[in-house]
Amino acid sequence: MKGSRYAVCLATSALALMLPATPAGADETAEGIARYREALADGNPAELWEMQGEELWRTARGPKNGTLEKCDLGQGPGVVKGAFVGLPRYFADTGRVQDLESRLLTCMETLQGIPADEVAKTPFGKGEQKNIEALVAWISAESRGMKFNVPMQHPEERRMYEIGKRVFNYRSGPHDFGCVTCHGEDGKRIRLQDLPNLTKSADAARGFGAWPAYRVSSGELWSMQRRLNDCFRQQRFPYPLYGSEVTVALSTYLGVTANGAGESTAPAIKR
């Protein structure tokens, strides 16, 4: 009799202890994950791509045997620092809005004679696409810690922003999915991955400003184009063409939303 009452008493006190412990435990887990990510970032293998990219920028290649050192990424020919946080933008020489990768294709074609459409058709992680990975890693690293300042002055830039906004909110496909399904609310996640609410400045800077990134699970460096390509795959949409208008429009929308908020951390490290 006495023994069983003691047991009940113990059980209730254990319950009482457990109840408030749950939210605190969740915080602890989030903190633990944050600490783990910090430790990972210290030895981010993206640095290996950065080193390669810097060398590639200065290496004479292609049929024209030219370097990329005169490539205009929007801040003037050859200016790399701060270029990443100001893209996509309108370029007068091509007459269209370009993101970092479509701009690199232009530079590779005009300065090195490497045909842009050939590179665009190359699968990710192969041939010239590998070189693009290294280049975007280095170019984005040169803007690390800077705030996004994606321009919206030119009518084409405003048009791309509007298209991007529509694409972001456009639900379709067999799952009736849109970007907004996963990235339109706070506190959503896929398994353990927190999803940024890309309609908000701070989150857009955190999300958009993290790619290109090194993916630990596959040991690859993913560019923004590859990231977007995979977002389309996850929604069961057809793959967008490399550097196509829809991908640039989405980047414009995300970049403009991120303007003035957090700092660019690219190339970051992801699971």
Partner 1 sequence: MAAGPMRIRAASNGTETEVKILMSHDMETGQRKDASGNLIPAHHITEITATHNGRVVLAGQFGPAVAKNPYLQFKFKGGAKGDKVSVSWVDNKGEKRTDEVVVS
Give the active site residues.
231
Place of tokens 């967008």: 240
- Using rule CB under 8 A, residue 38 touches partner 1: no
- Using rule CB under 8 A, residue 124 touches partner 1: no
> Which of the stretches 48-56, 120-128, 156-164, 186-194 binds partner 1 when contact is defined by CB under 8 A?
48-56
CB of 217 to partner 1, least distance (A): 10
Q: Which is nearer to partner 1, 208 or 222 (CB)?
A: 222
> Which of the stretches 14-22, 38-46, 120-128, 187-195 binds partner 1 when contact is defined by CB under 8 A?
38-46
- Using rule CB under 8 A, residue 93 touches partner 1: no
Q: Which of 27, 38, 42, 93 binds partner 1 (CB under 8 A)?
A: 42
Instruction: Read off the tokens for 115.
Output: 């045909």
Q: Which of 48, 121, 127, 162 binds partner 1 (CB under 8 A)?
A: 48
Please list, in sequence order, all residues whose beta carbon lies within 8 angstroms of the beta carbon of residue 188, skipping any fewer than 6 positions away. 182, 194, 195, 197
Neighbouring-strand partners of residue 269: 214
Judge contact between 112 and 104, C-beta under 8 A.
Answer: no
What is the distance between the alpha carbons of residues 164 and 158, in angstroms, rounded to a whole number? 10
- Using rule CB under 8 A, residue 61 touches partner 1: no
What is the distance between the alpha carbons of residues 189 and 68, in angstroms, rounded to a whole number? 40
Using CB atoms within 10 Å of the CB of residue 220, give its burial: 0 to 12 exposed, 13 to 18 middle, 19+ buried: middle
95 CB neighbour count, 10 Å cutoff: 8
- Using rule CB under 8 A, residue 52 touches partner 1: yes
Question: Helix, strand, coil proportions of the chain in percent (round to 5)?
Answer: 55, 10, 35
Judge contact between 195 and 184, C-beta under 8 A.
Answer: no
CB of 14 to partner 1, least distance (A): 40
- Using rule CB under 8 A, residue 47 touches partner 1: yes
CB of 121 to partner 1, least distance (A): 19
Q: Which is nearer to partner 1, 51 or 180 (CB)?
A: 51
| Pick from 242, 76, 95: nearest CA to 155 | 95
Per-residue binder mask for partner 1 (CB under 8 A), 212-241, x = binder: ----x--x----------------------
Judge contact between 208 and 254, C-beta under 8 A.
Answer: yes
Q: Which of 20, 43, 63, 145 binds partner 1 (CB under 8 A)?
A: 43
> Which of the stretches 1-9, 43-51, 66-74, 258-266 binds partner 1 when contact is defined by CB under 8 A?
43-51
> Which of the stretches 45-53, 85-93, 103-111, 185-193 binds partner 1 when contact is defined by CB under 8 A?
45-53
60 conformational bin, left if phi > 0, alpha if psi -120 to 50, beta if neither: beta
What is the distance between the alpha carbons of residues 203 and 32, in angstroms, rounded to a whole number? 21
Judge contact between 209 and 258, C-beta under 8 A.
Answer: yes
Instruction: Read off the tokens for 62.
Output: 């292609």
Q: Which is nearer to partner 1, 44 or 235 (CB)?
A: 44
Q: Which of 45, 78, 115, 184 binds partner 1 (CB under 8 A)?
A: 45
The site for partner 1 (CB under 8 A) is made up of 42-45, 47-48, 51-52, 216, 219
